[in-house]
Chains A and B, each alone.
Chain A
Amino acid sequence: MLHLTIEFSGGAELLFGNVKKHQVELNNDTKWTIRELLVWIKDNLLKHKPEMFLQDETIRPGILILVNDSDWDLLGNLSYELNDNDNVTFISTLHGG
């Protein structure tokens, strides 16, 4: 099994029942990249309209992704391959108002 900690902050947690930290286990028969993880999150954790979280098959602009506190821009974005015990954090920078 692939064990991941998924965190939401900056307001992104509102889309997930106001829960900031989720511990998840994924079946690692196949490899998991961020691309597949986004779809999994949409199908399994998301409590609101998909367009609040995803857009054009990637993350909605204005929501940042960090893997183990590193900018996903440095890790190959959608094609980053997840490792056991990775922490994936989603931070919304979108305005509340």
Chain B
Amino acid sequence: MCSNNEGGLTKFEPKPDLALFRKCLKCDKNSVVVTRINDAMCKECFVEYFTHKFRATIGKSKLFDKDEVVMFPYSSSDSSVAMLHLLFKGVGEEAKKKFTFKTICVYIEDNYVFESNSSTHERITFMENVKKSVEYSGFKFYYSLIENCLEPSKNIVSDEIAKLNLNNENKEKFLNLINSCKNQTSKEELLKRLKTQLINRIAIELKIKKIIFPVSCTNLTIDMLTNVALGKGAHLSIETSLEEKLSNGLVYVRPLRELTSKEIAFYNRYNNIDSNIMAKSSSLKNLPNSTIYRLTEKFINSLQNEYPTTVPTIFRTSDKLTPTDELCPEDSCMLCELPVDTIKKISANSSAINDLEYSLSISRLDNTAIEKLFVLKSVCYSCSVVLKDVGGHGNLPQTIKDKIKSRDNLKDKIKEFLIED
């Protein structure tokens, strides 16, 4: 019943006339929801199926040690709201087998930073509302601001909203950096990467090794196809796996990867927690065709509607891929922290780097251009494509620039490249 066609053949069939599926397939009640495998269930059986699926994923191969502290970047999105509730239930009295790891949550405010008309007061009120909506869980919550990705010091997170540095120059620098992106896709991709970097830094700051990301099967599939389109193919199997080990010692875990966005929405609805979802007003700017991500989202959601079994099939493809030997784990990308792919060597032929290298060879480069070249040389292929569209590299986080400098002595590296060519 709960099987997801593993081993069996996938049928490329449109969904059947579901009005025929009146009875829950597990009990005698009338069904109210259809899951991705065209199974119709009643409310109680669905919630049980959903909870079981999450617990089975998280219980797999002893992901966490007893009393291990894990960090949950809570974003008040639908999947965050569902995962917080599942974790809460997992440590509650009624849980048959309690989770033995400890959860610490971090909320990063990344909506009001874009609202030019909104006041600091509104931003604080929004965070206070988030705080109220998660209080029932009893988990310890920390707070941060997206512009803290530009904060060079360790002062990036606090357990009190009032102690956050809300009026600082980082906000302006951050907006300058984001607005210097030449198109909406690179803007979106840069934002994603800067947020992940901040999450990593906060985990290190809080001395936590494992981070649990609340991302559904549907969103992983959208990410995966977007990444293919953006030239991140070499990282496909890594970025969708249940457990991902980063070169900096952190481990990402994705316990919602077996559940679809539709299932998550119904779970929230049936537990009366959908009011905890705090929608971002910035999402109104995301017209359906405005970026590669939006277009992929539209495609995957249409597939999920019309051919519900195909989305898990696409997603499972990534499980069948193995990372290429040509990935070099010691050489990780400065922006996404994943191994730099050898395809990057091809990217060296891409016009931006080529032009810069040519100018360098005839010594017509100023310092900003040299900086640009080295930033591009220190990231994976896909991140170099994103960064190519960023106007001022001077606005990049100091932490990234420091890493580049500490890794390579700039001048030596220049010589090396010139000899190589």
Q: Nearest Cβ in chain A — how far from B69, in angstroms?
A: 27
Q: Bound state CA distance, A13 and B188, in angstroms?
A: 23
A-B contact pairs, 25 of them (CB 8 A): A9-B275, A10-B78, A10-B279, A11-B279, A13-B279, A14-B279, A49-B287, A55-B298, A61-B301, A62-B261, A62-B298, A70-B33, A71-B34, A74-B21, A74-B34, A76-B19, A92-B279, A93-B218, A94-B297, A96-B75, A96-B279, A97-B110, A97-B188, A97-B191, A97-B282
Quick check: A96 and B77 within 8 Å, CB to CB?
yes
Q: Is A75 on the interface with B (CB-CB < 8 A)?
A: yes
Q: Which of A11, A52, A64, A66 contacts B288 (CB 8 A)?
A: A52
Within 8 A of A (CB), among B230-288: 261-262, 264-266, 268-270, 274-275, 277, 279-284, 286-288
Closest Cβ neighbor of B282 among chain A residues:
A96
Q: Bound state CA distance, A13 and B75, in angstroms?
A: 18
Within 8 A of B (CB), among A1-44: 9-11, 13-15, 20
Quick check: B40 and A74 within 8 Å, CB to CB?
yes
Quick check: A97 and B19 within 8 Å, CB to CB?
no
Given A74-B34, A75-B19: A95 touches B301 (CB 8 Å cut-off): no
The 7 A-B residue pairs with the shortest CB-CB distance in the complex, in nearest-first order: A11-B279, A61-B301, A96-B280, A62-B301, A93-B261, A96-B283, A61-B302
Q: Is B393 on the interface with A (CB-CB < 8 A)?
A: no
Within 8 A of A (CB), among B178-196: 188, 191-192
Q: Which of A20, A69, A74, A95 contacts B219 (CB 8 A)?
A: A95
Given A14-B281, A61-B304, A74-B21: A95 touches B32 (CB 8 Å cut-off): no
Q: Nearest Cβ in chain A — how far from B200, in angstroms?
A: 18
Closest Cβ neighbor of A20 among chain B residues:
B275
Q: Nearest Cβ in chain A — how far from B320, in angstroms?
A: 26
Given A69-B269, A74-B19, A91-B274: A64 touches B279 (CB 8 Å cut-off): no
Within 8 A of B (CB), among A46-97: 48-49, 51-52, 55, 60-62, 64, 66, 69-71, 73-76, 89, 91-97
Q: Which of A69, A76, A96 contacts B43 (CB 8 A)?
A: A69
Q: Bound state CA distance, A71 and B280, in angstroms?
A: 25
Q: Is B31 on the interface with A (CB-CB < 8 A)?
A: yes
Given A71-B34, A75-B19: A61 touches B305 (CB 8 Å cut-off): yes
Q: Is B9 on the interface with A (CB-CB < 8 A)?
A: no
Given A74-B18, A76-B19, A95-B77: A48 touches B302 (CB 8 Å cut-off): no
Most buried by B among A20, A48, A52, A61: A61
Q: Which chain B residues have a beta carbon within 8 Å of chain A's beta carbons? A: 15, 18-19, 21-22, 31-34, 40, 43, 75, 77-78, 110-111, 188, 191-192, 218-219, 222, 261-262, 264-266, 268-270, 274-275, 277, 279-284, 286-288, 293, 297-298, 301-302, 304-305
Q: Nearest Cβ in chain A — how far from B122, in angstroms?
A: 13
Q: Bound state CA distance, A74 and B111, in angstroms?
A: 36
Q: Nearest Cβ in chain A — how far from B182, in angstroms?
A: 19
Quick check: A64 and B265 within 8 Å, CB to CB?
yes
Chain A residue contacts of B305, Cβ below 8 A: 61
Q: Bound state CA distance, A52 and B288, in angstroms?
A: 7
Q: A15-B284, A64-B266 are in contact. List 14 more A-B contacts (CB 8 A).
A: A9-B274, A60-B288, A62-B301, A70-B33, A71-B266, A73-B34, A76-B19, A91-B274, A93-B264, A94-B297, A94-B301, A95-B297, A97-B110, A97-B188
Most buried by A among B75, B188, B262: B262
Quick check: B269 and A74 within 8 Å, CB to CB?
no
Q: Which of B15, B110, B283, B297 contacts A14 (CB 8 A)?
A: B283
Q: Nearest Cβ in chain A — how far from B277, in angstroms?
A: 6
Q: Which of B32, B75, B222, B286 contacts A70 (CB 8 A)?
A: B32
